[in-house]
Chains A and B, each alone.
Chain A
């Protein structure tokens, strides 16, 4: 893998070092090719990827091509789906297609911020705890225990209510979605941190880490250049699945009133605003619901495909 190649090439190692490093980079490249090939062979994952790309394009560029804007409210209220309004109109006479584009955009924004934030925090804290051991590990692990014990709803409520945070994050009436995203990211790192900590705990005892230490590599370098590249599969799969979880969690939070609030929006908020329309005007409820399911299905399929591509253990043949 990559982590063996780089240090040898840079340290003033014996002559064979140069040879070894070119050898290692070729195998590393090949490994990525193998992973890519396995992924592309996973049909569901490919469908998921295409679907996800389409959804992203729809969310971020759809409004440029759609004839109505979400601010146009002059239409007849509660119009069922028709050629002019494929998803109908809502109780304020807004075009549902335009609203869905906007909702999808916000939901995706939130999900991506959450995935990035929770992955970064989780990986860094998990790696530090696992590598440093001792009191640092104890501190981080106890902190994780603490966050598991305090109901996250309370933290959500504090953040969502607290006007101070709102003003810092973008002024009143500003980026309410960002607060929700930050909050979800701040509590979502626990599981990945635990996984990475466990992996780092065992990786730090491996010979190649000892070799790097013997060559005088700094702790920072050992952790980020030598150990973490070995966990990259777990990190990528987790980050992918975190997107799906974030979309669903945000929807649930919106439903109990602690998620995104007007003037911002999200698919979850749209569903909960229309929760009583299920029998009378089902399209208002079902369209955002379908979009949420599409996002999380697409992302889950991608994550599953990635996991299979990285870890083909079940298909490996022992010869």
Chain B
């Protein structure tokens, strides 16, 4: 087990190297980060040379990559290069953004997963019932909607709600401009109020889409295990229907969804780009969109390395969980 983990992690090192090199090439293909800055107004050659010296873009491509890679492994992830916003350490910004995304997606994933499993299981057990049709219909509709529209509508609704609250003399509740930078304060009740106001809409908009995915997936795999031979064997032993459903069918139907959701969570650390943009959360999604827009080579690379590590680690976790839940699977 331990050896398996070590081996898997070692195998992914070359993958990370190739990925970072490719990514470096892609960022390079985006153009010169100083291109716009040079056109804004006439710059002196000395100014330009200094700027290029700072970005590293005065060196050839390969040399720049090797420099970056060498610094990266020693913990120096580079700085932002855009002259308007230069000199900010990539690592600090990334970690801050990561914290924001983490707080946002973990709760939403958990809610979507639990809700999706519950609804999927009930839908499968009561196949073709009104509940099943309703749940399938709802998840179908959610699946067919552009997420950002849902988020935009939620946001508009939140603003309306705030206006109405104000009109009856209450405090504004919904916060549509990200979580307060200085954290929550005041009494416990006030904190709950602020916390829920900041989280409720982004969480809903994330849950909507993930719930649709999980409930459909769980319904399908539950239908399959409910029709499995071993469930019939179990029923032939004379156990209750509930026990045959939960101890036998459900236990087996959990294997695929846990694997899928751990892969999903791993990918989720890359940030919820749409939700973060709509609700102005400065998480990973916003970070990468900004980094791309401004052509920030080291921010993009840092982002890629961090998310790649999470994707690799959660892939590994998915495999370990799979082996743990299904005794037929052996690691190595």
Chain A interface (Cβ < 8 Å from any Cβ of B): 142, 145-146, 148-151, 153-155, 157-158, 161-162, 244, 248, 251-252, 255-258, 268, 271-272, 275, 278-279, 285, 289, 292-293, 296-297, 300-301, 304, 313-314
Contact = CB atoms under 8 A, between A and B. Distances in A.
B127 to A, nearest CB: 8
Interface stretch (B17-25, B199-207, B318-326): B17-25
Given A278-B152, A289-B149, A296-B143, 15 more contacts: A146-B22, A149-B311, A150-B23, A151-B288, A154-B300, A158-B30, A244-B144, A251-B148, A268-B146, A285-B149, A289-B146, A292-B145, A292-B149, A297-B140, A314-B227
Given A146-B18, A256-B273, A151 B304 contact: yes
Nearest to A296: B144
B30 A151 contact: no
B146 A256 contact: no
Given A256-B273, A256-B277, A271 B149 contact: yes
Nearest to A161: B30
Contact of A151 (B141, B147, B149, B303): B303
A256 B274 contact: yes
Nearest to B143: A300
Nearest to A275: B152
B51 interface: no
B31 interface: yes
8 contacts: A148-B267, A150-B304, A154-B26, A158-B30, A162-B29, A244-B144, A248-B145, A255-B274
B140 A153 contact: no
A146 B27 CA distance: 16
A16 B213 CA distance: 50
B26 A158 contact: yes
A139 to B, nearest CB: 12
B273 A153 contact: yes
Contacts of A256: 273-274, 277, 289
A166 B16 CA distance: 30
Q: How large is the interface on B (under 10, 10 to 19, 20 to 34, 35 or more residues)?
A: 35 or more
Interface string B131-167: 0000000001101111111001100100110000000
A146 B22 CA distance: 9
A155 B292 CA distance: 10
B140 A300 contact: yes
B29 A252 contact: no
B27 to A, nearest CB: 7
B34 to A, nearest CB: 15
A154 B292 contact: yes
Given A151-B303, A154-B23, A279-B156, A292 B15 contact: no
A144 to B, nearest CB: 11
A268 B145 CA distance: 11
A149 B15 contact: yes
A297 B141 contact: yes
Contacts of B22: 146, 150
Contact of A153 (B144, B288, B312): B288
A278 B16 CA distance: 43
B74 interface: no
A248 B146 contact: yes
Nearest to A274: B152
